[in-house]
Amino acid sequence: MIETIELMTERVARLREDGLSRDLKEEMPELRGQLAEKALEATLGKPQAIRIAEVLETVFNNVPVQIRHGELLVGSRGASGYPEVDHAMARGSAEYPYMISDFQTLLEIGVRGVIERAEARLAAMDEADPDQMESVHFLQAVIKSCQAVIVWAERYAEEADRQAADTDDEDSRDELAEIAARCRRVPAQPAESFADALQSVWFLYVALYLETRAASCLGRLDQYLLPYYERDLATGRLTRDEAKELLCCLWVKLYENVQGVLGSHAQTITLGGMLPDRSSGVNDLSFLCIEVAEAMGNVGAQIAVRWFEGQPPELLDRAFSLMEQKAVMPQMFNDETYIAALDGLGVPFEDASQFALFGCHEPVISGMGYQRPASYPGYVSFYDWLEKALGLQSFGTPPQLRVVADPPVNVRDFWERWKEAMRQGVRDAVIRANFGDKIKQELLPRPLMSAFLKDCIESGADLTQGGARYNMTGFQGCALATSADSFVAVKELVFDQQRIPMSELIDAVVADFRGYEHIRLAVTNQPSKYGTDCEDADIWAQRMVDAFCDEIETHRNFRGGPFSPGMWSFVQNVHMGKRTAASPDGRRAGEPISHSMDPVSGQAVRGPTAVLNSAAKLSQTRFSNGGSLLLEFSRSVIADECGRLAARSLCEAYFRMGGIEIQLSCSSAEQLMEAREHPERYRDLVVRVAGYSDFFVRLDPALQNYIIEREKHTLSGQTT
């Protein structure tokens, strides 16, 4: 069982245990859905932006308002149900928007200040002008949505007053009175203190969840909260321990907000990294967040640490120490490569340096970028294209293969076929993604989200209309290693060495290798594998990635921005594998395809250095939508300071070679198998899944099996 490694206050321990013990899903009735349907029906015929704003007004006026005993931070969704989102997704919308709010502006001028900006912009427009009509409606919706948030906060102030009047406990009465006063200040007005700032940020964060199911991450919290933290410490208004307790309360609220389902939301806080003046952003608040993560364990935020050459190493050291808990699995991101990737899209350094991580891997320019990956249309399998290049096609459940064309006759023919299949696959995915964005623009304008993205108010355009300063749409390449290994197996065993006739290989793959075990062993043991620092395998992986990036970058999205390539699969490698028949690298039908930029599971036979060398050969400065490499360490490797230093040095070496991101994991197959058999004993066991961590016993059985198999191939200090 997992234990926190630092003591927390009695208040936080109680709130944390209360959150873990409650059935949080039961506390989210479908009331929001009922309210939304009522508002949508009442506003038929009005502009869609106004209708969405009136949905928010109805929701904020009516969702339950509750303050739990001892809470210092208040605000929760209190209801679920998003019929407008469900309708748009049924029509083909590409899921939810991704953004990180302009929290700095919120704290500096408050929601009223944003309303004033919108009102000033609206005053300069004329609804009778057809070129300005949509902008007028958008700005009216912004104002109405923001006013609704202020009313919602006032309802919390009234609830705090009510509870204060009902209690005989003097300390509770004082706390509730302070909460009431704070809710009347923020988010309407600028924050005056660290507690104000945290409450204002939390109100906006939850408000965006009430606008859409999954909306924002907290971004660079250690930067925008720092002035309030330092000012309160300097004046004696706050102690460091009190600040830590407030942040622990934030961690509890994050857990409650996603109903304890960590993986579907991946709420990430980004620490450290460069500032716009190229200095280091590491500060005491960065370390305080690490301490909170240590104390809270599996309740709260995921931690992403930005790194650049010259940044104080202590932050990375502390991040590695989190792994000892078996609960918090940090993520590491290379500033220099990410910023270079954003520069390739025309983002100046001053803005690019403000990137933070949304969810698992996606870099989002804080407060400026609407950079939603293309969701399911954006997950594209390199192996699907290789299968077509072989003249094959997967079908059915469980997956089988049929021959649909003659196989390639030589390596050049094979490669050209792969590129043609890739170009068509990307084109089809772009069409689906753009259609989804079109549906989102028609049905799901987001006036509240847009109010807190730079340039939307100034341009008079919703984020779905391209109003944000940056408008990228990400694509995620999957199955790189499965594809490279399969390509090289065909190249070497069929064309170069002529050990296996093409017809026999095709027959073996179609038969899922049943009756062809000698061929399966030949392709599985063929030594040229991506992830072993093998030049032949790595160069074909490079070529595939470069061709993919070249093609993606020729397209534009529906909002006028670029498509941005990334190399990560989330958990789609498991789902894609279920629909994919056998492959020429020896993989059996239905098994997972390779994960993100990782080698095929079980093929990292030359250790972590070889894996990093292979991955570093990829053109990662083109991965403006991120790129994940998962490093698995046995428990013994990080059990002492010497092992952690070695692991940190390995990560830093990869970053110096141009690596963009490393995910870390540390667990044992034996423990996971026991948890699978006895879930009641391991309710709090958290594992690295993909770009996020989640409770192992709550995962789909297919994901559990994939993670166990992945861990079985983990040797001391090696990757899978």
Q: What angle do CA 567, 570, 573 make, to 5 degrees?
A: 85
Q: Identify which of 332, 352, 401 has the alpha carbon closest to the alpha carbon of residue 663.
A: 332
pLDDT of residue 720: 33
Instruction: Please tell me the distance from the alpha carbon of residue 57 to that of residue 211, in angstroms, as a whole number.
Output: 10
Q: Identify which of 676, 624, 701, 158 has the alpha carbon closest to the alpha carbon of residue 373.
A: 624
The whole-number average pLDDT for the span 84-92 is 90
The whole-number average pLDDT for the span 316-338 is 83
Question: Within 13 Å and on the Cβ side, how many CA atoms surround 607?
Answer: 5
Instruction: Please tell me the distance from the alpha carbon of residue 237 to that of residue 195, in angstroms, as a whole number.
Output: 10
Instruction: Please tell me the distance from the alpha carbon of residue 99 to that of residue 141, in angstroms, as a whole number.
Output: 19
Inter-CA distances, 252 with 14, 224, 297, 396, Å = 10, 20, 11, 44
Structure token digits, residue 263: 């993986």
Structure token digits, residue 268: 């990430």
Question: Is residue 717 scored above 50 in pLDDT?
Answer: no
Please state the separation of Cα 274 from the chain's center in Å: 21
The larger pLDDT score, comparing residue 132 to residue 691, is at 132
Residues 6+ apart with CB under 8 A from 240: 233, 284, 288
Instruction: Please tell me the distance from the alpha carbon of residue 387 to that of residue 407, in angstroms, as a whole number.
Output: 10
Question: Is residue 560 scored above 80 in pLDDT?
Answer: yes
**Sequence-ordered strand ranges (E) for 442-597:** 473-478, 563-566
The whole-number average pLDDT for the span 6-28 is 83
The larger pLDDT score, comparing residue 223 to residue 263, is at 223
Instruction: Please tell me the distance from the alpha carbon of residue 93 to that of residue 438, in angstroms, as a whole number.
Output: 8
- Predicted confidence (pLDDT) per residue in 590-637, tens digit: 999 999 999 998 898 888 899 999 999 999 999 999 999 988 766 666
pLDDT of residue 260: 65
- Count Cβ atoms within 10 A of the Cβ of residue 123 and give its class: 0-12 exposed, 13-18 middle, 19 or more buried: exposed
- Predicted confidence (pLDDT) per residue in 348-374, tens digit: 999 999 999 987 778 899 999 998 765
Contact predicate 278/322, CB 8 Å: no
Question: Is residue 388 scored above 60 in pLDDT?
Answer: yes
Instruction: Please tell me the distance from the alpha carbon of residue 429 to that of residue 380, in angstroms, as a whole number.
Output: 8
* Confidence label for 94 from pLDDT (cuts 50, 70 and 90): low
Contact predicate 692/360, CB 8 Å: yes
Question: Is residue 221 scored above 50 in pLDDT?
Answer: yes
The whole-number average pLDDT for the span 412-431 is 97
Query: Minimum mean pLDDT among 38-47, 172-181, 450-459, 678-687: which range?
Result: 678-687
Strand partners, 333: 306, 661
